[in-house]
Structure 1
Amino acid sequence: MTAAQADVPTDLEANSLKMPEGLRLDTPDVADGAAIWRIARDSKVLDLNSSYSYLLWCRDFAATSVVARDANGEPAGFITGYIRPERPRTLVVWQVAVDQAQRGRGLAGALLDGLTSKVAADRELVSVETTITPDNKPSERLFTSYAQRHGASVERTVLFDAGLFPEEGHEPEVLFLIEPVTESGKAAQNKPVKPVG
C-alpha cells in the first residue's frame, strides 16, 4: 500500500468499491508499460496508442494513473489519467481497461474509485472528466455509476465532433464532466484557483 492509499479521504473511502479478491491497487511503473499496452490492445474497444506512449505514461503520469495487480504482481487492469493544466482540480481519465480474465468482477469501478482517492489524497479534486463515444455503453455505465456512488452530477457535451477526426467512421467523443467528486471538492467548487508559479 502506498502512502497515498493509506491517507485516502474518508468521503471517497466511504463510497468506494473494494478491490476484487486476489487483486491489489498500485501505481504503475515503466516495467508495466508493455502489459498495459497489451491489455489496451486486447480490449478491442480502446484507441490503441503506440507501445512507446504507454511507457511514457507510466513514467510521466504514474501519479495520476493506477494499475490492478494479480497475486503474481502482473497487471490485470489499469486506468491512465492526468490533471488538466487549465483546471488543476480536474482529473481527466484517459483510458480504462481490464484484462479479459478479470472482467465482470467490478474491477473497473474499483480502479476508478481507487484512482480518485489516490489523486484526492495529494491535491484538491473537484471534478473528473472523460470522453466516451456514443456506442460505448459499458463506459457510460461505469462513469454514471461512479457519479451516483459519489453523489456527483454528470454533464454531457460533445467535445470532439466526428468530423474532426482524420479517419472515416470515428464517432464523436462526448465529454462527461462529473462534479463535485469529494466533500472537499464540493467546498472548493467555487473557490478561485491560485496561479501556479
Structure 2
Amino acid sequence: MTTAPADLARSRSALLELPVELRFDSPDVGDGASLWRIARDSEVLDLNSPYSYLLWCRDFAATSAVARDPSGRPVGFVSGYRRPGAPGTLFVWQVAVDEALRGQGVAGALLDGLSAREARRQDGLRCLETTIERGNTASERLFASYAARHGASLTREVLFEPGHFPESDAHATEVLHRIALPGF
C-alpha cells in the first residue's frame, strides 16, 4: 500500500509540529557547512567529510529537510534519499539537532514533515528505513515513537557487522530499522 495524499489529510493532526520559532525547509548548498557542524557537535553521528554534506545539500535536498531558526540558520536536519531499487522507500541517513534544541520534538517534527512531503510524491511512501548503532537509545526511541505515532510496524535486523567496515574494531553493528507505513 502506498501512502497517499488523502491518507495524509486524515492524520494531519497526528504529525508533530516544529516549535513555533522554527520553520521547515529543504537544505541548499549554503547549508552544508552548518549541517556538518551540527553532525559534528552531536558527538554520536558518524561524521562525514564537509564535502559530502555540500553534495548532500545539492543532490539530495528534495529528500532531506532542515529546521531553520528566525534568522534562517539551520538548527536541525534529516538527510535522506529514495532507495534506487525501492522508490517507495525513504532511507534516513542522519538526524541531528543543535544541542540547545534537543528534547523539544524537533527531530520528530522533521521526520514527520519530511515523510508528509515524500508521501505527496507520485510514487508515495511505503517504507522508512534507517540504521542505528546498537546502544544509541535516543535514535532508537525517535524511530520507535515515529512508528507508534503512525500506526506502523517496525522491524529490526542487523545490516552491517563491524567486519564490514575497514576498521572493524572502530565501528559498532548497524541495525536496520524498517518502518512499514500503512498510510498517514
Gap regions ≥5 residues in structure 1: 1-6, 184-197
Q: What value does the CA root-mean-square deviation take over the aligned residues?
A: 1.5
Which residue identity lines up with residue 9 of structure 1 in the other structure?
L
State percent identity of aligned pairs.
59
How far did residue 181 of structure 1 move? 4.8
Q: Which residue of 1 aligns with 2:52?
A: 53
Q: Are 2:13 and 1:14 equivalent residues in the alignment?
A: yes
How far did residue 8 of structure 1 move? 9.4
Aligned residues: 177
SS of 2:94's partner is strand
Q: Please, what TM-score do these two structures have when normalized by structure 1?
A: 0.86
Query: Mapping of 1:1-197 within 5 angstroms?
Result: 9-123=8-122, 124-167=124-167, 168-183=169-184
CA displacement 1:40-99 (0-9 Å, x = unmatched): 000000000000100100000000000000011000000000000111100000000000
CA displacement 1:137-185 (0-9 Å, x = unmatched): 00000000000000000010000011111222311100000012525xx
Task: Work out the CA distance in 1 between the residues paired with 2:47 and 2:11.
Answer: 31
Task: Work out the CA distance in 2 between the residues paired with 1:52 and 1:154.
Answer: 33
| Contact 1:128–1:181, Cα closer than 8 Å, also in 2 | no
| Contact 2:130–2:177, Cα closer than 8 Å, also in 1 | yes
Which residue identity lines up with residue 38 of structure 1 in the other structure?
R
| Contact 2:66–2:76, Cα closer than 8 Å, also in 1 | yes
| Contact 2:66–2:75, Cα closer than 8 Å, also in 1 | yes
Higher relative contact order, chain-length normalized (CA < 8 Å, sep 6+):
2
SS of 1:63's partner is helix
CA separation of 1:11 and 1:23: change in aligned 2, threshold 3 A: same
Q: Which runs of 4+ in 1 moved over 2 A?
A: 11-14
Which residue identity lines up with residue 172 of structure 1 in the other structure?
T
Higher alpha-carbon deviation: 167-176 or 68-77: 167-176
| Contact 1:27–1:63, Cα closer than 8 Å, also in 2 | yes
Task: Work out the CA distance in 1 between the residues paired with 2:128 and 2:182.
Answer: 7
Q: Please, what TM-score do these two structures have when normalized by structure 2?
A: 0.92
CA displacement 1:118-146 (0-9 Å, x = unmatched): 11112310000000011100000000000
CA separation of 1:12 and 1:83: change in aligned 2, threshold 3 A: farther
